[in-house]
Amino acid sequence: MNHLRGKFIVFDGGEGCGKSTQAHLLKDRLETARLQVLLVRDPGTTRIGEQIRNILLNPDHQEMGMRCEMLLYMAARAQMMKEIVRPALNEGKVVISDRFISSTLAYQAGHEGLTAKEIVAVGDIAVDHHWPDLTIILDMSVESARVKPKFTLFPDDPDAGVEKDRIEQRPLEYHQQVRKKYLEQAKERPSLYCVIDADRAKDVVHQDVVEALKVLGKR
């Protein structure tokens, strides 16, 4: 696993596909191999990023335009890259992110005239030209997804785990298109993406993740 030092790895995919589970499994495995690991969630992780996350996911903000949504995601990433991710990579740590710009290309591209080209251009500024070494797409049908209501602004909120967040509340057809856009990204950039069938036992999926990461040792 030493070839992963200083690498930036992203887990992405639709709602309820097991991104957080696989990110934590990989973190544990790498730490057992005595690698230093930083696990982040996008958007969030930093103080500023978490505040932006709450704005983005709050179900009360239904009037938010897609371009505003995209720019808020990028703002959170810009802060996370500057404050946490870039320093960690420079120290030789493995950085694992739960979502990244691949999410914006799946969730926001094509809406209100927003193009993938525009998203990539803004994203390149936000991350200061430092893109992931590998993006792992955990693929699962929308119907099989394990989505649990989880929106909450505060840890002690009595309604925590009751309401779906603003993005989760979007219709089935929207999420089906999201899945399609993830697969299109992977097809267009096969050297930077890997698609893994997530509709299996978590340990089986994890083994495929480990196999997929071997490609980074050949670069």
- What CATH number has the domain bearing residue 133? 3.40.50.300
Contact at 8 Å (CB) between 103 and 15? no
Q: In what order do the strands lie in the sheet with 8-12?
A: 37-41, 94-98, 8-12, 134-139, 193-197
pLDDT bracket for residue 214 (50, 70, 90): very high
The total of structural domains in the chain comes to 1
The answer, yes or no, to whether residue 148 has pLDDT greater than 60, is no
Q: Look up the pTM and report it.
A: 0.90
Which residues constitute the domain of residue 158? 2-218
Give the pLDDT confidence score for residue 163 in this predicted structure.
66
- 102 forms beta bridges with none
d(CA 81, CA 96): 12
For the segment 83-98, what is each residue's pLDDT rounded down to a tens digit? 999 999 999 999 999 9
